[in-house]
Chains A and B, each alone.
Chain A
Amino acid sequence: EADIYQTPRYLVIGTGKKITLECSQTMGHDKMYWYQQDPGMELHLIHYSYGVNSTEKGDLSSESTVSRIRTEHFPLTLESARPSHTSQYLCASSEYFGGEHYGYTFGSGTRLTVV
């Protein structure tokens, strides 16, 4: 059972609309991430957060923005959706304690289609 939840699972929306993709985790992880997965399945980091009130841009430039007001919540917002934003968006959090990394836990993803 996933401890990180993404909603909606699928979204079809018109060009110019504002959308927010939700991501919540119940594990108390400080670090959270958003990845964009293109049709060829390649994954690109677009945003990450070290913790509350921390947000950083990732390796791939994105027109989306994120916020981190609570530890468990890391939503991604597109102010004006365009067809080029059509993709799958994966949210993840990472476990790090005792000086060890234990990898990411991923949500089920949001498949966004902008028409």
Chain B
Amino acid sequence: AQTVTQSQPEMSVQEAETVTLSCTYDTSENNYYLFWYKQPPSRQMILVIRQEAYKQQNATENRFSVNFQKAAKSFSLKISDSQLGDTAMYFCASMYSGGGADGLTFGKGTHLIIQP
């Protein structure tokens, strides 16, 4: 079984600042994927960034980047130059890639508030 832990229930930063959301996970698998999803208030959940566990290079998507530490089972999300539209719930998730339903295991989420 996989578990995902997000230890920061809520974070608040000023617009244009850089913020890092933490995530740790536990899995006995060697092949898996890690994701960060964003859920704005009353809106659809969308994929922010994706990381294959077999890749050493950290994934980046514009202002979003991850710090993937496989040995430590850590997968933090860094948001640079934060914007008001980044206010949302952020979920870290893992997926075993060995087949089956490939269900995502989610953390409990971090509520990120960007202050003007």
Name A's B-contacting residues (CB within 8 A): 2, 31, 33, 40-43, 45, 48, 50, 56, 58-59, 90, 94, 96, 100-109
Contacts and interface: CB of A to CB of B under 8 A. Distances in A.
Interface residues of B, number: 23
Given A104-B47, A109-B44, A42 B103 contact: no
B13 interface: no
Contacts of A100: 52
Contacts, number: 53
Interface of B: 33, 35, 37, 39, 43-47, 50, 52, 89, 91, 95, 97, 101-104, 106, 108-109, 111
Secondary structure dominating the interface of B = strand
Contact of A103 (B39, B50, B89, B111): B50
Contacts of B43: 108
Contact of A31 (B33, B102, B109): B102
Secondary structure dominating the interface of A = strand
Nearest to A43: B106
Contact of A56 (B35, B97, B101, B106): B101
